Every structure is written in structure tokens, then in C-alpha cells.
Structure 1
Amino acid sequence: MKKLNLTRRNARLTLCAIALLALQGCTSYVSKGIADDGKTAAELVFQPLTDAWQPEGIFPNKDNLRAVRPGMSKDQLYDLIGRPHFNEGLVAVREWDYSFHFRTGGGAVSCRYKVLFDRDYRAQSFHWEPSACASFIAEPPLAAPVAPVPAPIPKAIQLSADALFAFDRAALQDLLPSGRRELDRIAVVLGGAKVEHVRIVGHTDRLGAVAYNQQLSEARAATVRAYLIGAGVPGERLAASGRGAREPVVQCQQAQRDDLIACLAPNRRVEIVVKALDENTR
């Protein structure tokens, strides 16, 4: 009986020795002296392609390769770049090897890729053979910011006096909300533009006395100038004047007064005429 037990014990020892030798055979090509933190190795070993179970390699997804980061688990790496292409061992494996190909203008380039793991089997360092292969997954350069194209400076802007002011009014407090919004928009354009000067010209319709219309047109132009200055446009660029009813844009002959007033509306206006700095060179 003792002899039988001794035989069994020797058989188990023999099997263990064979298993150990097998494991050693499976790990004969692993890198030497991988640091506990997985960031370095005394000697990196890239196995020959003849030892790969998938010697033809693959064309990897570059975005997935760029997403590989230190600290990833083996499952996370598997999801991104697949299983390794070589058999580094059966137990306690702390490196994975891949054979990748990248397309170029002159064909395809073959590269080797190695991942080293720390003692907790978290990926920590990544290596290429040849090292220049790392350039294939370098982040593409950011496009240079495109300078915004400045909006063209309008040569002339016509504003309806009926939209700017209350009826027969010209003071700053008489500006309507719609007129203030329009002047705010114009102030932004003029404030950021290269402008030599701006002429603000008030016009009226032909109804009423000539002297009164002249005074009304001047007052409205002056109010628009004051508003633009208050909105940030340099005052030295702005000049205001009035033309009364001398420069109509429409002629009307309606017999009914209300119809005539409506027809003459385009004549009741404030014009803003802009001269840009570069116009003198044209």
C-alpha cells in the first residue's frame, strides 16, 4: 500500500513538473524584467510573426487605438482593439502583442504593438516596433481658426422716420422702441468698422411749412447722432444735417389727406451715409 501511495505521489510531481515546463515554454518569448508598475521592462521582446496565431495581422480602428489609456483592464482593451495576436503565456500574463497594418499613400506599413500590464493587470505602457509607427495614431492637428470675415460696411442706410419717432416728434425721448433697436444695431456695425465719417441726414415730406420741415429734419438727424454717440460710436465721426422736403423719393397726388400722408411715408426718413477709411484708395 505504501508503495502504491509513493507511486501516485511521484506521478503527481511528474505532472506538475511537466506543466511547469509547458508554462515556461509558453512564456519563452515574453519581455524580461517587467516592472511591477508595468511602465518599463529590462528588455522588450517582440515575438516573430511566425509565432502569432494571427500572423496576417489586422488593420485596426485608429480612433479605438487613440482611446487606449493607462489603467484600462484587459476586458476594456479587448473591446477596443481585440484579443492579442500572440500567446505570451497561460497564467499571470502581463503583456499583450499585436500585429497592425496602416494604409499609406504608398501601400501598407506593418507595425508591432505591445501593451505592458502592472501587477493588478491594468495596462500601463504601450510600445511600438518600429517606434515611428506611433505616428499613425497621432491626434490629427487642429484646423487653424478661421478669422471671421467682417461684415461689409453699408454705404447708406435709410430709416423710416415713422418707425423712429412718434408723429411730428424729434426729441430723444420721442424715439420709438423699434427705432431704438434699429439704432442699437447700427451702432454695433459702426463701432466695429473702419469708418472715416458718417453723415446723418433728416428728411420730411412736403406737408407743412418749409421752415418747420427744415427744423424738424435737422432735429431728427441731431437726435439720431446723439443716440449713436450714447451707444458708443465716436462723435467725431458723426455729422448731422437736415434737408427738409427738398429731396423726396416719391411723388404723390392723392386727394384724401390720409391717403396722401400714407403715400408720402418714404419721404419721411433719416439717411445714414457711411464713408469707409479705404474708400480714398480706390
Structure 2
Amino acid sequence: MKMKYSTSKRVVAAMVMVASLVLGGCSSLSEVTADGTTEKPVFPDPRKVTFDNDQGTFPNRDSLKLVKSGMTKDQLYHLLGRPHFQEGFFGVREWDYLFHFRTPGNGRNRVTTCQFKVIFDKDYHAQSFFMRPVGDPNDMCTLNSDKQMQQFDLSADGVFAFNKADLTNLTASGKSRLQEIAGEIGQLGAIESILITGYTDPLGSAAHNSMLSEQRAMTVRQYLETLGIPAGVMIARGAGETTMFAQCDKRMAKVTLITCLAPNRRVTLKVTSAANPLAAK
């Protein structure tokens, strides 16, 4: 009987541990939006590293430079390894790392330590990156010092006919605006990536909205390719419905409701490029 009681206690303890991990995994340090952004990133205590012998790692700088928006968790894991803090198993949309960099100084190598945070969107694609020094400020803990990022926002209603997404339903005004954007992109430095994301309003089923938003992003990508933007730097994805910009009473008349929800129907382009050396002149 004593053995059975002990086994039962171990089972209960294991269940409590699993439950706590699940709850921990669903929580988040920062307030993260569905788009994978946050206005106020919150970093964990650097002294509470869970993995890599509680010390963090020395990352490969070339691998760190390859990190960009739109990457999956598997792709980031391949470049950077697993995150260094215990963030749970389910619903995790923040990865935190503790990185060390050897910097020469006074005839001997010194070590600079930085915290690096990745924020994922609701589909678990990396969208936002933050870095801060542990200790005194230093240039080693500055992100994208040699890069520039620019975002273009398009009203889907101005680019496509309502509830349409294919190239034949790309409006004249939409083509004109995309031609302008292609020209602006051409004035930037060497393009590293262009993340094209389509969004819909909450009307319709989730499956339909997911498909429609992805098709719109793919069509924008296709048209930009005809304007000379290399296909290899463009990533197109659909984020489905959003209520971020306009939340309207669904009891409105249909026409009024569609108009009210217009700000949610959009396509965004996040362009990452090498810094333009002429920009500072």
C-alpha cells in the first residue's frame, strides 16, 4: 500500500508540473499583437537563463545577420539554436536569448553580453526583433545598424475589387500605387527581404478570409515581380481577418458595415535593405 501511495503522489506531482508548464507557455512577458509586434518589449531577468549551462551562448555573427521577418521557428532554431529561457511549450510567441560577443580592447579580448528577443505573429512567424545590452550601453547590442526597414501600407479596397484577389481584379489605382512603391523600393539599398502580408476584415468565415488574404499577398508579389522586383526576396503570406484598426457593430446595415471595416482590409509590405550610403548626405 505504501508503494501505491508513493506512485500516486508522483503522478499528481507530474500532472501539476505539466499544468504549470502549459500555463506558463500560454503566458507572455510582452503584450504581443496578432501581427507579431509590441510597443513595449519586456525582457526576462538575464540571471535566470534556463539552458546552455545557465550562461548563454556566443552566436555566429553571420547566422545572426541572416535572421529576418517571416522566418519560422525551425528556421530560427537552425540559425540561433533554442531560446535560452524557459518559455513553455504551447502558444509561445516570444523567444529570448542571452548572447555574448568577444570585442577587442586594451590588448585583450573582452566580452559584451546582449539580450536578444524575437516576437512571433499568431501563425508563429518571426516579425519583430529587439536587442539590449546587459550592463553599460554599447554598439554591439544595436540591431540593424547597417540596415534600414520601411513599411508600405495599402488599402485592399484601393488595390482590389471587393472580395477579389486575382490579377484580373487588380484595379488601375492599385497598379499605379504598386508602380510607385516599386520605384521607391528601387531607390533603397540592396534589398534583403520584402514581407508581403494580406489582411481581411472579420466578415466571412475564417477559412475564406485566410485564403483571400493569402491570394491578395500572392497577387501583389506577382505584380511586383513584373515590375522588376526579384521574386527571391519576396515572401507572401495571408494573416486572415483582423479587427486591429476598426471594430464595428455587426448589427449595422451591410453596406455601412463594409464601409466601417475598410481599414482592416489591407496589404502591408515590410522592406528590409542595406542602408543607403547617400541617405546621410
Q: TM-score, normalised by structure 2?
A: 0.43
Higher relative contact order (CA 8 A, sep 6+): 2
Q: TM-score, normalised by structure 1?
A: 0.43
Greater Rg by CA:
1
